[in-house]
Amino acid sequence: MTSQRRREIIAFIALLAAGTSFSANILTARGAAQTIPPFALAFWRWGTLALIVLPFAWKDLVAYRAVIRQRWAVLFVLGAIGMGICAVTLYFAGHTTSATNMALIATSSPILVVIGARLFLDERMNAVQICGVMLALLGVIIIIARGDAETLAKIRFTTGDLWALASSVGWAVYAVMLKREGLALPGLALLAIGAVAGAVSMAPFLLWETFTVGPPALSLTTVGAVLMLALVPSLLGYGLHAHATMVLGANRAALMGYITLVAVVALAWLVLGERLEPYHLAGGAAVLTGVWLTNRKRQTT
- CA 243, CA 249: separation in Å to the nearest integer? 10
3 state SS for the chain: CCHHHHHHHHHHHHHHHHHHHHHHHHHHHHHCCCCCCHHHHHHHHHHHHHHHHHHHHHHHHHHCHHHHHHCHHHHHHHHHHHHHHHHHHHHHHCCCCCHHHHHHHHCCHHHHHHHHHHHHCCCCCCHHHHHHHHHHHHHHHHHHCCCCHHHHHHCCCCHHHHHHHHHHHHHHHHHHHHHHHCCCCCHHHHHHHHHHHHHHHHHHHHHHHHHHCCCCCCCHHHHHHHHHHHHHHHHHHHHHHHHHHHHHCHHHHCCHHHHHHHHHHHHHHHHCCCCCCHHHHHHHHHHHHHHHHHCCCCCCC
Whole-model pTM: value is: 0.77
In a domain, 39, yes or no: yes
In a domain, 129, yes or no: yes
Contact 275, 42 (CB under 8 A): no
In a domain, 198, yes or no: yes
In a domain, 57, yes or no: yes
pLDDT along the chain (301 residues), means of 10: 79 79 85 88 95 94 92 92 91 86 75 71 67 68 61 60 88 79 80 94 96 88 90 85 67 61 73 70 70 54 31
In a domain, 139, yes or no: yes
Contact 125, 114 (CB under 8 A): yes
- Quote the pLDDT of residue 50: 95
How many domains, in total, are found in the chain? 1
Domain range for 196: 3-294
In a domain, 301, yes or no: no
- Quote the pLDDT of residue 53: 94
In a domain, 202, yes or no: yes
- Quote the pLDDT of residue 264: 76
In a domain, 300, yes or no: no
